[in-house]
């Protein structure tokens, strides 16, 4: 249990507390956290850092928090990517495409054009499902985290006043 708390403190609480003590509002931190987790499960492996930058910079999201939570979502991305693809195939009413790595490699070298068509469309199907669920996930994460971060900000403020 101590290892979990140490991990939690080091990678979640401490970075948020540092941003709060540097003047970032709980609203902006909650916003960056929600976007980080949501963008972190985007169903294209290896794309989330660029995606977080493309979304975060114009929205003026807190980059340290955004990138930290995008990275923390990485295991969730791996766990959900197949689900996004399969739900997308169901949504579009198309047959499943085999996602076996050896079969994919064989197909790529035998027929590059059809490979990109089939697997590219599978990616589009997964992205569609992510796009449909992302707004609800963003709102839920923001609604859950904002009061928690406001509470942390209040605790830090009390400690600062007391010292």
pLDDT at 15: 86
pLDDT at 161: 76
Q: What three-state secondary structure class fits 100?
A: coil
| Residue ranges of the chain whose pLDDT lies below 70 | 1, 4, 163
pLDDT at 163: 64
Q: How far apart are CA 84 and CA 148, in angstroms?
A: 29
pLDDT at 92: 97
Global confidence as pTM? 0.88
Q: How far apart are CA 57 and CA 17, in angstroms?
A: 22
Work out the number of other CB atoms within 10 angstroms of the CB of residue 153: 19
pLDDT at 105: 86
Q: What three-state secondary structure class fits 152?
A: helix
Report if residue 81 sits inside a domain. Answer: yes
Q: Which domain holds residue 62?
A: 25-151
Q: How many CA atoms lie within 13 A of 32 on its CB side?
A: 27
Report if residue 13 sits inside a domain. Answer: no
Q: What's the structural domain count of the chain? A: 1
Task: Decide: residue 107, CB within 10 A, 0-12 exposed, 13-18 middle, 19+ buried.
Answer: middle
Owner of token pair 């994460």: 141
pLDDT at 159: 80
pLDDT at 4: 67
Report if residue 73 sits inside a domain. Answer: yes
């Amino acid at each position: 249990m101590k290892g979990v708390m140490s991990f939690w403190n080091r990678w979640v609480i401490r970075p948020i507390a540092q941003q709060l003590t540097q003047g970032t509002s709980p609203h902006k931190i909650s916003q960056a956290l929600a976007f980080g987790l949501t963008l972190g499960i985007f169903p294209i492996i290896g794309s989330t850092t660029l995606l977080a930058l493309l979304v975060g910079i114009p929205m003026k999201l807190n980059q340290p928090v955004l990138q930290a939570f995008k990275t923390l979502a990485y295991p969730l991305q791996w766990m959900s990517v197949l689900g996004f693809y399969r739900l997308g195939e169901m949504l579009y009413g198309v047959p499943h495409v085999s996602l076996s790595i050896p079969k994919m490699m064989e197909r790529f070298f035998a027929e590059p054009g059809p490979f990109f068509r089939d697997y590219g469309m599978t990616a589009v199907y997964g992205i569609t499902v992510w796009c449909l669920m992302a707004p609800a996930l963003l709102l839920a994460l923001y609604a859950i985290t904002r009061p928690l971060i406001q509470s942390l900000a209040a605790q830090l403020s009390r400690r600062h006043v007391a010292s």
